[in-house]
Homo-oligomer: A and B are copies of this chain.
Amino acid sequence: MPQLSREELDDIYAFAINLGTSAGKILLDAAKSRYGDDRPEERAHIEKENAVDLVTQTDEDVEAYVKSQIAQKYPSHKFVGEETYSKGASRDYLINEEPTWCVDPLDGTVNYIHLFPMFCVSIGFIANGKATIGVIYAPFLDQLFSACVGRGSWLNETQPLPLVRNPVPPLPVTAPSGCIFSCEWGKDRRDRPDGNMHRKVESFVNMAAEIGGRGGKGGMVHGVRSLGSATMDLAYTAMGAFDIWWEGGCWEWDVAAGICILQEAGGLVTGANPPENPATAPIEEARLGSRLYLAIRPAGPSPTESGRQGQERTVREVWRRVRDLDYSRPGA
């Protein structure tokens, strides 16, 4: 495929920021229609019938809006969205070398239903198979995260990411101790010893337990956080607020924008499942579509190692403590 020029990319980036902001506003307006003071009778009806249906409708409306805006401005670009995909015939990974928009109109759907502020729209633009532009907008928090390859990562277009950056702090020598560990319980709650829930919980407890505990696997992380949005998890890892994010089960539209923002900020993203030898296995960039992710925040050098070395050391320490998760693609 022909490379996009710098100017073309910058145009697409500006368009994506506007699109993310206006799509987020639609989400927020729909949320406010549930608690505004107008038309109480209609609202009573809506809440009683099914807040979930209302949210599903908003989800679909926002995806249709985003898709049509893109089709109008860039008719030659491909579009992969959560709603389109769920209703489509194929369960394959649909992203190839063509310029492709990868969009989640509403990440953190459960949060949105309950009006917990950690929900957002996620717009990724992929060129030659690589996440090249990312825009995440959380309208209730009015937080906009954005990045374009070569242009850095930003909060609200004014604050470069990671926030602490002159210099960017190294990862703790004792990582995962001293780190904030971000993880999610997910939807797979089957109570089977070898199910994903129990594999996750065993991993969480290893990361949390005191040093020396759990047969040497205790990681004594500084904190365990669960927000209910993979996209927000990635955004806060790019910001430097979370040191480690480990998750299985998300889709490419949940993470395309976030991975771009994380990488452009200097973060690392690889696979969640530990390789046979965590101490020596190569640390490869996560494949979009793999559904299994381990992200490490941007890190600066310490007197004894580069930022990248600190990130790789942290990856290996996480791999040593987590179990492999079982999230294959339905069509694979």
Chain A 125-139, CB-CB to B under 8 Å as 1, else 0, gives: 000000000000000
| A115 close to B (CB within 8 Å) | yes
A93 located at the interface, meaning its Cβ lies under 8 Å from any Cβ of chain B in the complex: no
Nearest-neighbour CB distance to chain B for A327, whole angstroms, equals 17
Closest B residue by C-beta to A169:
B47
Say whether A191 faces chain B, with CB atoms less than 8 Å apart.
yes
> Given A110-B180, A189-B209, A189-B220, are A117 and B241 neighbors across the interface (CB < 8 Å)?
yes
Q: Is A107 part of the binding interface, using a Cβ–Cβ cutoff of 8 Å?
A: no
**Number of A residues contacting the other chain (C-beta, 8 Å)?**
55
Please measure, in the bound complex, the distance between the C-alpha atom of A43 and the C-alpha atom of B167, giving whole angstroms: 8
Within the assembled complex, what's the spacing in Å between the Cα atoms of A228 and B106? 24
Complex contact B240–A114 (CB within 8 A): yes
Question: Chain B residues with Cβ under 8 A from A243's Cβ?
Answer: 114
Q: Are B222 and A185 in contact (CB under 8 A)?
A: no
Q: Which of B35, B43, B225 contacts A226 (CB 8 A)?
A: B225
Do residues B197 and A205 form an inter-chain contact, with CB atoms below 8 A?
yes
Set B110, B225, B240: member contacting A227, Cβ < 8 A: B225
Q: Which residue of B has the minimal Cβ distance to A297? A: B114
Question: In the assembled complex, which residues on chain B have CB atoms less than 8 Å from the CB atom of A205?
Answer: 197-198, 201
The contact sample of 14 A-B pairs, CB cut-off 8 A, is: A34-B164, A35-B165, A37-B166, A44-B166, A110-B222, A110-B223, A111-B180, A114-B223, A116-B242, A141-B141, A185-B224, A189-B210, A189-B218, A197-B205
